[in-house]
A and B are shown apart, each in its own frame.
Chain A
């Protein structure tokens, strides 16, 4: 079965960077785009961008351009999202979510989600 497994919690200081892993199993990792979505406490969902694991190509939301980097390691079927220059506004749960298009295509929607990684930014 498809699984996206994320680590539990990260605590970072303002100005630092965080790199969140998303380990996948149960499907062909390079066959589906991977998105990252975040949710601040008590707030809504916010799309950050995607990576195409087969090529490493990326597309970032304008809000995060210059501060986010999405990468992947195909040998271990894992996607990563790194966010730099953290502030308290970046405190949120960060989800990886598989694109819903079956095969080498793109739908811009999400069929499987990780359980989320809570990133807390505090001095």
Chain B
């Protein structure tokens, strides 16, 4: 079955830039979405369609795509950004939704 691969963890100091990658063979064909999940809460979308930012999401969150890899970038990381981040997309046919394994962002 199709998989999306993320690093398990990323650590940055406040004010620095965090980059979280997500790799999958179908990403050139299918949009990617990014969700932020804090403990005990439901996920919240922070990036949709590879690079679009929903209203209410801070401008420091951005997304990009290059070939089979998509990247979530958080510039000027703040303590409140510490959370789990999941990429999500679909298989090449668009039939099945897939999540990456998640990346725990730690703000040092």
Interface residues of B (CB under 8 A from A): 1, 30-31, 33, 35, 37, 42-45, 48, 54, 86, 88-90, 94-102
Q: Chain B residue with minimal CB distance to A115?
A: B42
Cα separation A113 to B100 with both chains bound (whole Å): 18
Q: Find out whether the CB atom of B94 lies under 8 angstroms from the CB atom of A108.
A: yes
A23 part of interface (Cβ distance < 8 Å): no
Q: Chain A residue with minimal CB distance to B89?
A: A108
Chain B nearest CB from A17 CB (Å) reads: 24
Q: Find out whether the CB atom of B45 lies under 8 angstroms from the CB atom of A46.
A: no
Q: Chain B residue with minimal CB distance to A6?
A: B42
Chain B nearest CB from A100 CB (Å) reads: 7
Cα separation A46 to B54 with both chains bound (whole Å): 23
Given the interface pairs A109-B48, A115-B42, the reply to whether A44 lies near B96 with Cβ below 8 Å is no
Q: Find out whether the CB atom of A47 lies under 8 angstroms from the CB atom of B99.
A: yes
